[in-house]
């Protein structure tokens, strides 16, 4: 396997899909001549030209709409949001058009489009640039939502998202772009959307995470093992649709669940998981499902306060010990 950074893996995915299918093009702020705000699109303009790597004005609503229109007439756009905090300005296009066009056209139009870019905490960029937006998009029927945790998953899931015939929200952690990990050397590394991954087998408690939050989950599982608690770790990979089959299989084995996310607690991904688990698997639970989230407040700027707001391994360990009655 090759060792690549997260940004390099995403770049490879777009490069391979653009080479494979001439209908694929990239559009967004600074994706071309600047090689991307985070250098994820580095080299693509030189290789594919300005017709397929399109720099846009700072107007998310407009270029999201252009991308949706292009997808309706047979192209397969990748729309980069410089940060998903800016996608707030494009929500009318994403929610009212991309998500609903198949239904409202009676199936006459597909919208094969990917909206991708950094999401969540961004390290000292304060409240307006540090929001985890995944639960917003998961609330909208018609959208698929993907949030990878490793370079290998990032590449495989992005390729799958580009090939999908429905709109996909592809959320990348801004503070993971430099992370290095193994990426399969397979000629066409594609991972199925809607399938979770069991990162670590265990029998005492199920820890569920995704994206950057998975780091805290894995670190907690390793620490818990030293304390005699054998944790199973599940990486959701795709948030909508959820892979409840993999989750249910784990819950039937461990009987305890902790969910971990960097989003706010009210109406979060963990809340949905807790409802589904307790509704369908109540008889298998030996403790209530426990959630670990960001604090319910706008993100502070100061580095120490930002760290205090975000979930960490200590929080996950405490929650796992609580559901295991080991406090």
- DSSP output for 141-186: TT-EEE---SHHHHHHHHHHHHH-SS-EEEEEEGGGTT-EEEE---
* Neighbour-count burial for 112-138, b at 16+ CB within 10 Å, e otherwise: bbbbbbbbbbbeebeeebbbbbbbbbb
Q: Which of 297, 277, 290 is nearest to 319 (CA)?
A: 290
Which pTM value belongs to this model?
0.96
What pLDDT was estimated at residue 44? 98
- Token reading at 211: 């994206």
3-state class (DSSP) for residue 76: strand
Domains of the chain, each with CATH number or no CATH: 2-183 (3.40.50.970), 197-323 (3.40.50.920)
How far is 199 from 208, CA to CA, in rounded Å? 10
Q: Is 315 exposed, middle or buried (0-12, 13-18, 19+ CB in 10 A)?
A: middle
Query: How crowded is the C-beta side of 126, counted as CA atoms within 13 Å?
Result: 2
Contact 240, 196 (CB under 8 A): no
What pLDDT was estimated at residue 268? 96
Q: Which of 42, 43, 93 is nearest to 70 (CA)?
A: 93
What pLDDT was estimated at residue 292? 98
Compute φ and ψ for 249, nearest 5 degrees: -60, -40
What pLDDT was estimated at residue 238? 98
What pLDDT was estimated at residue 187? 87
- Token reading at 199: 């990162």
* Cα dihedral value 78, 48, 53, 80, nearest 10: 40
Contact 158, 114 (CB under 8 A): yes
- Token reading at 208: 């569920």
Q: Which of 140, 121, 137 is nearest to 129 (CA)?
A: 121
What pLDDT was estimated at residue 327? 79
What does each of the 327 residues of the chain score in pLDDT, given as a tens digit? 899 999 999 999 999 999 999 999 999 999 999 999 999 999 999 999 999 999 999 999 999 999 999 999 999 999 999 999 999 999 999 999 999 999 999 999 999 999 999 999 988 999 999 999 999 999 999 999 999 999 999 999 999 999 999 999 999 999 999 999 999 988 899 999 999 999 999 999 999 999 999 999 999 999 999 999 999 999 999 999 999 999 999 999 999 999 999 999 999 999 999 999 999 999 999 999 999 999 999 999 999 999 999 999 999 999 999 999 997
What are the catalytic residues?
60, 129
How far is 250 from 282, CA to CA, in rounded Å? 13
Residues facing residue 240 across a β-bridge: 145
How far is 230 from 118, CA to CA, in rounded Å? 33
């Amino acid at each position: 396997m090759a060792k690549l950074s997260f940004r390099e893996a995403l770049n490879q995915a777009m490069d391979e899909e653009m080479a494979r299918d001439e209908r694929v093009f990239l559009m967004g702020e600074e994706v071309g001549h600047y090689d991307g705000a985070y250098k994820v699109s580095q080299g693509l303009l030189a290789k594919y030209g300005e017709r397929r790597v399109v720099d846009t004005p700072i107007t998310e609503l407009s270029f999201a709409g252009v991308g949706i229109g292009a997808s309706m007439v047979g192209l397969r756009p990748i729309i980069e949001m410089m940060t998903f905090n800016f996608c707030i300005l494009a929500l009318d296009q994403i929610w009212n058009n991309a998500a609903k066009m198949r239904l409202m056209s009676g199936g006459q139009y597909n919208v094969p489009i990917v909206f991708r870019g950094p999401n969540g905490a961004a390290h000292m960029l304060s409240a307006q640039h540090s929001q985890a937006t995944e639960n917003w998009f998961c609330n909208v029927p018609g959208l698929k939502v993907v949030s990878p945790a490793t370079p290998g998953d990032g590449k495989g899931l992005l390729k799958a998202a580009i090939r999908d015939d429905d709109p996909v929200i592809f959320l990348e952690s801004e503070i993971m772009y430099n992370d290095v990990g193994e990426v399969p050397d397979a000629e066409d590394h594609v991972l199925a959307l809607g399938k979770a991954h069991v990162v670590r087998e265990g029998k005492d408690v199920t820890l569920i995470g995704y994206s950057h939050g998975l780091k805290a989950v894995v670190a907690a599982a390793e620490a818990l093992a030293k304390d005699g608690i054998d944790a199973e770790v599940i990486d959701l990979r795709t948030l909508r649709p959820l892979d409840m089959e993999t989750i249910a299989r784990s819950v039937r084995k461990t009987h305890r669940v902790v969910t971990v996310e960097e989003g706010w607690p009210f109406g979060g991904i963990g809340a949905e998981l807790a409802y589904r688990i307790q509704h369908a698997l109540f008889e298998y639970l030996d403790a209530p499902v426990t959630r670990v989230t960001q604090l319910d407040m706008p993100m502070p700027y100061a580095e120490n306060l930002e760290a205090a707001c975000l979930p960490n391994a200590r929080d996950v360990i405490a929650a796992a010990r609580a559901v295991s009655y080991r406090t």
